[in-house]
Structure 1
Amino acid sequence: MLCDFEPELIISDFESFSYLFAKMRRLPIISIDNMQIINRAKLNVTVPKSERGNYNMAQSIVRAKLPRSRQYFVTTFFDLPLSKENTTLVPPIIRPEILAAPPTKGRHVLVYQSATNQQNLVPLLQQLPDQEFRVYGFNKEEDHGNVQLRAFSEAGFIADLASARAVVTNGGFSLISEAVFLHKPICAIPIPAQFEQWLNAAQVEQMGYGRHFEAITADNLRAFLYGLPGFETALASYQQQGNEALFARLDAELALLSANASPTPRPSKAKSSVVPSFPMPH
């Protein structure tokens, strides 16, 4: 029965209910998510004036989420110096379907955009008739010459992602992380006023994995596609052994908690750490 459930630890992925439950029960909390990088690391990119308000707001929101957790595992495809204690950078969590999808290099470019975000997308892509685009986001099956609209299918999307020559998307962490894992060059156009998306897109360009633009235009896409060889070279240095680094660190944290046999959080003087085996490219 539910009343017999007596947890000893709460793991939260940026979710408040479990955090409040842990606080009420005086239980230790481990945070696992990508958002905490906004609050617990020092940025290595210049935030433009137009994004500073979004940055400050995002930092305030993230800071208020899961404060004083026992440990923060921050999932990320890029490396940043840490600014807070009890923090460990780990590679992104990759779902089993992506781990099982061997990457190949096809002729098409995978495009993921919502219909409300880019209404003129099809005629825009048709301005590059020598390129093949497979577009997700409109949830319809239509053939427009070099542009094929695809209805959503998880299996179909993963197959098209694994075999794409490049990816055009917004700044969402999940798809960018999967593209990086599969070594697919990325053209990132973040949703406006979403600082976390802006940061992901800026890091794509900073790491040499692709380009960061404010909007999709034919000229921007041409510039991105022209640079594919260089992006592929940069991505080749990214290596990630599935989710092993995160699981290893989580197992170590659980073992330490069990050995201490106490729900009391560690002193605030505990050192932050970066996973030694995290193969961040230079």
Structure 2
Amino acid sequence: MRILFLVQGEGRGHLTQALSFAQLVETAGHEVVGALVGVTQNRPAPAFFSEQFPAPITPLPSPGLVYHTQTNALQPSRTALNALRHFRLYHQSMRQIRDAIESLKPDLVVNFYELLGGLTYGFYRPRVPMICIAHQYLAFHPRFQFPAGQPIDRALFKLTSLLTAWGARELLALSFDQQPDVSKRRLRVVPPLLRREAIERNPTTGDFFLAYTTHPGLVAQLVKAHQRHPDLPMRCFHSGTQAAEERIDATLTYHAINGQRFLDAMQSCRAVVTTAGFESVCEAFYLGKPVLMIPQPNHFEQACNALDGQRAGVGVPSDTFDLSRLLDFIPRYDPAVSERFRAWYGQGYYLFLAAINRAVDSKEKPGRRSGALTTAANLR
């Protein structure tokens, strides 16, 4: 089977999932023919992705999230305005996606939450079946818990997810744990797609807390938290330092952001403090590390992740760098939930292969809309 990838290139999450999925399908004997990666400001695909992906990569201009330069808070209105301002450019990207499907002749398109992929299928209706993979699709599950209030953020989040999946044969919702499928919405719950470098590690338990943030404000909060707990060893990976190791005092060390060194530290830490990005929380969960999840300001999706992670037993959410919450949680952390997560992850290979076979074997007419996901009820 020939498979073409569409990948949202903002951040590491969807790119990492695409790399893992490429390894999975090639292990099963399928061929990955290429990836169209949505990027902002004409940037190339990140080096870690281009160096590891097994097929040609084409970067495409695509809408990206806009954050406040000082607070790092997500700005939804500026994000929407920026997308409208560059609509003609993004329309060209949609035509490029359509042309790539026609020229490469894949048997299947797999979309990792790239908005322009869904819009291409909505407007141009390619005949090649498409499936969509992202943890965001869990928002369409009736059991999913949203943060209290914020009805506008909730509706926009679901609308965006809906548009990325326009025309999809099936939605694969990455989840912390096993939940029932929702057949009327063509929604299937599947395990996360994790980096091979993470799942091949044997975790140990050290005495230090590991922190990761790209949010400058959280570094200041970290220093205050460190001053309240000066005897607690901490290692912090953040964008404010370029040094591989910068010792601040006897118990606090800064590190430049580096994926490999971060995994090395996660393997042996006592607990993890991070933003509520899905992949980093899943990696900590797989390695049995309790997590303090701090959503970025105004980032509704990360607020959802933190709440869902708390439900699954991963850790506790917090609006600030509050180490006392994590210290209170650690004695209550149940290692059995990590074991169940690892077992759930182990089912992924067969569930994903079954999904791509269903999509290709489907007798549904091309262009038909995706069941209940196209109704207004999904925005409630």
Q: TM-score, normalised by structure 1?
A: 0.82
| Structure 2 residue corresponding to 1:131, chosen from 232, 239, 242 | 232
Give the equivalent residue in structure 2 for 1:168: 273
AA in 2 matched with 1:224: L
| Structure 1 residue corresponding to 2:212, chosen from 109, 112, 120 | 112
Give the equivalent residue in structure 2 for 1:53: 152
Alignment of 1:247-258 (within 5 A): 247-258=349-360
Q: Residue 61 and residue 268 in structure 1: after superposition, are their counterparts in 2 closer, same or farther (change >3 A)?
A: closer
Equivalent pairs: percent with the same residue?
A: 24
Q: CA deviation at 1:6?
A: 1.3
Alignment of 1:4-43 (within 5 A): 5-19=104-118, 23-38=124-139, 40-43=140-143
| Structure 2 residue corresponding to 1:67, chosen from 159, 166, 176 | 166
| Structure 2 residue corresponding to 1:187, chosen from 292, 312, 327 | 292
Task: Tell me, yes or no, if structure 1 residue 201 matches structure 2 residue 306.
Answer: yes
Q: Residue 159 and residue 72 in structure 1: after superposition, are their counterparts in 2 closer, same or farther (change >3 A)?
A: same
AA in 2 matched with 1:99: I
| Structure 1 residue corresponding to 2:258, chosen from 126, 129, 153 | 153
1:91 and 1:240 in contact (8 A); partners too: no
Give the equivalent residue in structure 2 for 1:215: 320
Deviations 1:151-201 (A, max 9, x none): 122221111011111011111111011111111101011012211100111
Q: Residue 248 and residue 41 in structure 1: after superposition, are their counterparts in 2 closer, same or farther (change >3 A)?
A: same
Q: What is the count of residue pairs matched by the alignment?
A: 265
CA distance in 2, matches of 1:268, 1:12: 14
Over the residues paired in the alignment, what is the CA RMSD in angstroms?
2.9
Task: Tell me, yes or no, if structure 1 residue 143 matches structure 2 residue 247.
Answer: yes
Give the equivalent residue in structure 1 for 2:41: none
Q: Residue 116 and residue 18 in structure 1: after superposition, are their counterparts in 2 closer, same or farther (change >3 A)?
A: same
AA in 2 matched with 1:122: V
Q: Residue 192 and residue 52 in structure 1: after superposition, are their counterparts in 2 closer, same or farther (change >3 A)?
A: farther
* SS class of match (1:125): helix
Q: TM-score, normalised by structure 2?
A: 0.62
Q: CA deviation at 1:52?
A: 3.1
2:175 and 2:192 in contact (8 A); partners too: yes
Q: Residue 210 and residue 269 in structure 1: after superposition, are their counterparts in 2 closer, same or farther (change >3 A)?
A: closer
CA distance in 1, matches of 2:353, 2:365: 16
Q: CA deviation at 1:68?
A: 3.3
71-80 or 229-238, larger mean C-alpha shift:
229-238
Give the equivalent residue in structure 1 for 2:59: none
CA distance in 1, matches of 2:172, 2:367: 15
2:118 and 2:167 in contact (8 A); partners too: no
Between 1 and 2, higher relative CO (CA 8 Å, sep ≥ 6) is seen in 1
230-239 or 149-158, larger mean C-alpha shift:
230-239
CA distance in 2, matches of 1:26, 1:6: 10
Q: CA deviation at 1:97?
A: 0.5
Unaligned runs of 5+ in 2: 1-32, 34-99, 373-380
Alignment of 1:236-275 (within 5 A): 236-241=338-343, 244-259=346-361, 264=366
2:107 and 2:360 in contact (8 A); partners too: no
Q: CA deviation at 1:17?
A: 4.0
Give runs of ≥4 in structure 1 deviating > 6 Å: 265-270
Q: CA deviation at 1:46?
A: 5.8
